[in-house]
Amino acid sequence: MTGRRLNTWLISGPPLLYLVVFFAIPTLIMVLASFRYPGEFGGLAPLVQRGEDGQRIVNLTLENYQRFFSDALYAELFLKSFWYAVITTVLCLVIAYPLAMLIARSPRSHRDLLVLLVILPFWSNFLIRVYAWMILLGPQSVFAGALNALLNAFGLGPVRLLFTPFAVVIGLVYVHLPFMVLPLYANLEKHDPALLDAAQDLGANGWQRFWRVTFPLSLPGVFAGAALVFIPAFGIFAIPDLLGGTSGIMIGNVIKQQFLDTRDWPFGSVLSMVLTVVAVGLAGLAAWYARRARAMA
Amino acid sequence: MSRRSKWLWLVAILGYLFLYAPLVIVVAYSFNDSRLNAQWVGFTLDWYRKLFHNQEMLGAAWNSLLIGVSASAVSTVLGTMAGYAMYRFKLRLLPILVVAPIAIPEILMGVSLLIFFVAIDLTLGLTSIILAHIAFCIGFVAIVVRARLAGMDESLVEAARDLGATPFQAFRLVTLPLIMPGVIAGALMAFTLSIDDFVITYFTAGAGALTLPLEIYTMVKISVTPEVNAVSTLLMLLTLALIVIASRLSPGTLRAGG
C-alpha cells in the first residue's frame, strides 16, 4: 500500500466506518425487515428458525408487500401525502419567488441581511414553529376570531382552522419556505441584468421579461427548491400529528404508528421502503430536469 | 422606485411577516398573565418561574445538553475528517454516505435506527440518541468544512511541504488553523441540530430518556400552555446566540444548514 492510499484510508476510514455502521447497515436491516414476519409481541419474528425435523428455516416472505398492494387504503394515503407535498411545494414557490427576487435585486450590501432574515426563523426549534401555528389557528386565537368575524359578515358560518388539512398545509409551507427561498436566490443572484435590458430594448413588457427571460433562467433553482421542499414534506409526521387531527394524517403518521403503536415493524418497513423509493425517485427526476434546464439555459 | 419594485416590496414584506409573526406571538404570550393564549391580560414572569421549578423539564434540558455536547464533539471530529477526505481525495462511497442522511426524509433514519438498535440489543436511552445524532450531524459538519477548504489557498500547504513539513505537519500547522473557523461553526451547527432534533430522537429515545423537544411535544400534545411559550422563547434565544457566534466565525455557514 502506498503512503497516499494509507493516508486516504486513515482520514476517510473513521467517518466512513461510522456512517456504514449507523446509516448504511440500519437501512439494509430495514430493507430486510420488510421481507420478514412480525414478532408475536411486536417487532420482528426470528429470521432463522429450527424446524421440527431440525432443519434450519429462513423466515422470509412477500406477504407484507402483498398486503400493501392489496389494500387501496395505503395507496390512497400515499396519494394524499403526495398532493399535500405538491400543494406545499407550489405555495412555497409562489411565496418564495418574489422574496428571492427582491433579495437578488437589492443592493449588494443589504443582501446578506435579507437572506439571514429568511434563515433565522428556521433555526428555531421545529416543534416551536409548528406550535406557533397551533396558537394562531386555535379557536381562541385573535387571528381565527377575526377571520370568523369576517366570514360572519358575509353570512358564512364559523370555520374550524386547527386540526384540518388546511392547517397541515400552512404548517408545511411555513416550515419549508426557506428551503425554497435559498436555492432560488442563489440562482437569481447570478442573472445578468443586461439580459433584461436587452429584452426591454427589443420591446418586451414587464411580464414578458419575467416569463421569457427571468423564469426560464431560474428553472434550475426552481427544481432544486422543489426537491428540497417536496422530500421532507412528503414523509413528515409531526406536522399532521399536531395540526391535522384525524382528517389530516399523512403517510408519515402511519409509519410512526406501525413502529411505535401497532408495532408491526415488517409492514412499517414496507411503507418506509415505498416512501424512500418514491421520494428518491422524484428527487432524481427533479435533479435530471434541473440539469437539463441548466444545459438549455 | 418603479411600480414594479413597489409591488415586489409589498409581497416581500408580507413574506417576512409570514415568517416572523408566529414566532413573535409565541414570545409575546410567554409574558402574558393568562393561561389562555388569547387576550393580552398583563405582563408576568410567572411562566418562567414555573419553568425553573419544573423538575421534569430541567431533567430534559440537562439530557439535551449532554446529548448535544457529546454528539457535536464526536461528529465534529468525524465530520472534519470526512470533509477533508472529500476535498483531498477522489472518493465514491463517502460523499454518498455523507449526503444521504440529509437527503432522505428524517423518519426513515429514525425507524431504521430503531430496528438496528433493537437488533444489536442496545437499550434505548441516552446512548442510542447520541449515536443517532452523531450519524446525522457528520454530514452537516463535513459540508461546512469542505466549503471552508474549497476557499483555502492551496499554495500555503505546498509551501509548507516544500519547506520540509510532513503531510501531517502541514495539516496540523497550516490547514487546520486555516479551516478552524469552519470547524467551530460546524460544531455549533451540530450542537444546534442535536438540541433541536425531534423526529430521530422520538424513535431512538425509548422510554428511558426525555429531551427538550420530546418534553415540548408531550406538553403540546396534551394542551397548549404558556409554559411551552416560555421554554420555546428560551430555546430560541439559545439558538440565536449560537447562530450569531457561528456566523461571526464563518460567514456563509448558515446557508449550508438544513
pTM of the model: 0.86
Query: Is A119 close to B107, i.e. CB distance below 8 A?
Result: no
* Range name among B12-16, B40-44, B47-51 with the lowest pLDDT average: B40-44
In a domain, A221, yes or no: yes
Q: How far apart are CA A19 and CA B78, in angstroms?
A: 10
The CATH number covering residue A200 comes to: 1.10.3720.10
Query: Is A102 close to B217, i.e. CB distance below 8 A?
Result: no
CATH fold of B47-256 reads: MetI-like fold (1.10.3720)
Q: Residue B258: what pLDDT?
A: 35
Q: Cα-flanking dihedrals φ and ψ of residue A40, to 5°?
A: -60, -40
In a domain, A38, yes or no: no
Neighbours of A90 (CB within 10 A): 13
C-alpha cell at A205: 413588457
Q: How far apart are CA A104 and CA A190, in angstroms?
A: 8
Residues of A in contact with B101 (CB under 8 A): 19, 23
In total, the C-beta contacts within 8 angstroms joining chain A to chain B are 232
Q: How far apart are CA B232 and CA A266, in angstroms?
A: 37
Is the distance from CB of B140 to CB of B79 less than 8 angstroms? yes
A35 to chain B nearest CA, in Å? 14
Q: How far apart are CA A167 and CA A213, in angstroms?
A: 36
Closest CA to A183 of A60, A29, A294: A294
| Side chain identity at residue B108, one-letter code | L
C-alpha cell at B8: 415586489
In a domain, A33, yes or no: no
A11: nearest CB among B81, B98, B101: B81
Q: What is the pLDDT of residues A207-221, one digit of tens each?
A: 888 888 888 888 888
Residues of A in contact with B18 (CB under 8 A): 95, 174, 177
E-state strands within chain B: none
Delimit the domains of chain B by residue range. 47-256
B209 to chain A nearest CA, in Å? 16
Percentage above 70 pLDDT, chain B: 95
Alpha helices in B89-171 (DSSP H): 93-103, 106-119, 126-150, 154-162, 167-170
Instruction: Please identify which residue in the block is written with the cell numbers 410567572.
Output: B46
Is the distance from CB of A172 to CB of B68 less than 8 angstroms? no
Q: Please, which pLDDT band fits residue B138 given cuts at 50, 70 and 90?
A: very high
B85: nearest CB among A8, A27, A232: A8
C-alpha cell at B216: 415540548
Query: Is A276 close to B79, i.e. CB distance below 8 A?
Result: no
Is the distance from CB of B16 to CB of A95 less than 8 angstroms? no
- Mutate: best of B19, B24, B93, B193, partner A, most A CBs <10 A: B19
Question: Mind listing the pLDDT tens digit of every residue in chain A (297 residues)?
Answer: 567 778 788 888 999 999 999 999 999 999 999 999 888 877 788 888 777 777 777 888 888 899 999 988 899 999 999 999 999 999 999 999 988 988 888 888 888 888 888 888 877 788 888 988 988 888 777 777 778 888 888 877 777 888 888 999 999 999 999 889 988 988 888 888 888 888 888 888 888 888 888 888 888 888 888 888 998 899 898 899 999 888 888 999 999 999 988 889 999 999 999 998 988 888 788 778 777 777 765
What integer is the mean pLDDT of B27-39?
Answer: 80
Query: Is A140 close to B36, i.e. CB distance below 8 A?
Result: yes
- Mutate: best of A20, A112, A124, partner B, most B CBs <10 A: A124
Q: Please, which pLDDT band fits residue B251 given cuts at 50, 70 and 90?
A: low
Q: How far apart are CA A46 and CA A96, in angstroms?
A: 50
Sign of CA pseudo-dihedral B150, B152, B158, B160: negative
ipTM of the complex in this document: 0.88
Q: How far apart are CA A281 and CA B105, in angstroms?
A: 13
Closest CA to B16 of A129, A170, A115: A115
Query: Is B78 close to A15, i.e. CB distance below 8 A?
Result: yes
B111: nearest CB among A14, A141, A272: A272
Helix, strand counts (H, E) of chain A? 14, 2
Query: Is B203 close to A179, i.e. CB distance below 8 A?
Result: no
What integer is the mean pLDDT of B62-78?
Answer: 95
A26: nearest CB among B113, B217, B221: B113
Percentage above 90 pLDDT, chain A: 28
Which residue(s) pair with B212 in the sheet? Answer: none
Helix or strand (DSSP H, E) at A58: strand A56-58
B4: nearest CB among A112, A123, A206: A206
Q: How far apart are CA B243 and CA A117, in angstroms?
A: 12
DSSP A122: G
How many separate domains does chain A show? 1
Res. B128: pLDDT tops 90: yes
Res. B111: pLDDT tops 90: yes
Query: Is A118 close to B254, i.e. CB distance below 8 A?
Result: no
Query: Is B112 close to A27, i.e. CB distance below 8 A?
Result: yes
Is the distance from CB of A235 to CB of B108 less than 8 angstroms? yes
Res. B119: pLDDT tops 50: yes
Q: Cα-flanking dihedrals φ and ψ of residue A38, to 5°?
A: -70, 150
B198: nearest CB among A7, A99, A127: A127
Compute CA A102 distance to the chain's CA centroid, rounded to the nearest angstrom: 25
Alpha helices in A120-264 (DSSP H): 126-137, 142-153, 165-188, 193-201, 206-209, 215-235, 238-243, 251-256
Q: How far apart are CA B74 and CA A251, in angstroms?
A: 33
In a domain, A2, yes or no: no
Minimum Cα–Cα distance from A105: chain B residue: B5
Q: How far apart are CA A137 and CA A154, in angstroms?
A: 20
Minimum Cα–Cα distance from B205: chain A residue: A260
Residues of B in contact with A29 (CB under 8 A): 112, 115-116, 119
Alpha helices in A22-107 (DSSP H): 25-33, 63-70, 72-105
Residues of B in contact with A128 (CB under 8 A): 23, 26, 216, 232, 235-236
In a domain, A108, yes or no: yes
Query: Is A98 close to B22, i.e. CB distance below 8 A?
Result: no
User: CA distances (Å), B190 to each of A24, B76, B235, in order?
Assistant: 20, 7, 15
In a domain, A23, yes or no: no
Per the structure, the complete domain to which residue A167 belongs is given by: 62-296
